[in-house]
Amino acid sequence: MAAKANGEACGLCGGRTYLIERRGELASARVCTCSVDCPVCGGRGHILVQKEGTFSAKMGARTYDVLEPCVCTLRRTRVALYNDVQMPGVMAHASFDNYRPFNEAQDRGRGVAMHFAHQYVKGDTAKNKGFVLSGPVGTGKTHLLAATLGHLVLEMGVKSRYVEISLLYATIRRGFQDGKSGGEIIGPLSEVEVLAIDELGKGRGSPFEMETLDELIARRYNAGRTTLFATNYSLEPERKGARSSAPSGYRATDDARSAMKDAELLRERVGERIYSRLCEMCTFVELPRDTPDRRRTRQEMDAPPPLGGMRNPGR
């Protein structure tokens, strides 16, 4: 932990030795000014460490010196790894500490994400089961993905990536115009140790989108790699009476289309093959449909009182 001369933690980074800031569309990390000049190695980037080992029974145990990366080198490496995550800039300050649950389900969601992050075993795919967060818009799903990846990368040095699924589809389509194949773009996402896929199920459900999603998840599933998901679609195994069939040629209103979307299940959006794999790859967490939209709640609380009067403090 970085500290001031008087022993207090740095007022900028709080002792973390790094800062995360919003730069344009992405979140960006940098080494805090309190830790730029390393007092441990003097800027060399490595330190001499004395170790003990037995090379033969005749010689017995002997001590020897080896060069190891200094903590400042590890810090710079992890900051660079974070800047490869491609985290949205709006999530630059997302953490487990500033996530505010409105109900028990949200609290459980935070608990699942925190347990995953703090109990993660680097490189041990068998012990690192991912999770799926399902819930309405504005309920903090992306916040928890960002907090999880931030901990994995900056505190543990785990190579991770974030991708919003509809933006991935758009990136691949643009790649086609430049002569790139979808596999060239999917390849790095297939190989990264931890991948967070946001807005799972979003899109038109075209053959191109379904094939892309299937290939990405199949590659990660077959390799035993850990994947995290967030979706607005329900994980409920069945919802009696939720679906209604419309007459042929019926043109739904915006409200009707929205209601139909709310009634859709994730397994209907991604297909049985992908959904079956998610069941094996992840822990499921469903936030109730009536969970408040955090963004709308914040906007309503910050809104000025109506003209000609004051808010009723009792409401």
- For the chain, list the domains and their CATH numbers: 18-75 (no CATH), 84-237+259-298 (3.40.50.300)
pLDDT at 270 over 80: yes
Q: Give percent above pLDDT 90 in the chain.
A: 60
Identify the band that residue 1 occupies on the pLDDT scale cut at 50, 70 and 90.
Answer: very low
pLDDT at 34 over 80: yes
Identify the band that residue 244 occupies on the pLDDT scale cut at 50, 70 and 90.
Answer: very low
pLDDT at 315 over 70: no
pLDDT at 309 over 70: no
Q: What is the pLDDT of residue 40?
A: 85
This prediction has a pTM of 0.81
pLDDT at 246 over 60: no
pLDDT at 241 over 90: no
Summary mean pLDDT of the chain:
84
The full DSSP string for the chain is --B-TTSPBPTTTTTSSEEEEEETTEEEEEE-GGGSS-TTTTTSSEEEEEEEEES-TTT-EEEEEEEEE-HHHHHHHHHHHHHTS--BGGGTT--STT---SSHHHHHHHHHHHHHHHH--TT-GGG--EEEEE--TTSSHHHHHHHHHHHHHHHH---EEEEEHHHHHHHHHHHHHTT--HHHHHHHHHHSSEEEEESTT-S---HHHHHHHHHHHHHHHHHT-EEEEEESSB--S--TT---PPPTT----HHHHHHHHHH-BHHHHH-HHHHHHHHHHEEEEE--TT---HHHHHHHHHSPPPTTS---TT-
pLDDT at 37 over 70: yes
pLDDT at 242 over 50: no
Higher pLDDT, 291 or 190: 190
Q: What is the pLDDT of residue 213?
A: 96
Q: What is the pLDDT of residue 306?
A: 54
Higher pLDDT, 4 or 149: 149
Q: What is the pLDDT of residue 222?
A: 95
Q: What is the pLDDT of residue 225?
A: 95
pLDDT at 25 over 90: yes
Q: What is the pLDDT of residue 263?
A: 60
Q: What is the pLDDT of residue 295?
A: 66
Averaged pLDDT for residues 14-40: 93
Higher pLDDT, 238 or 45: 45
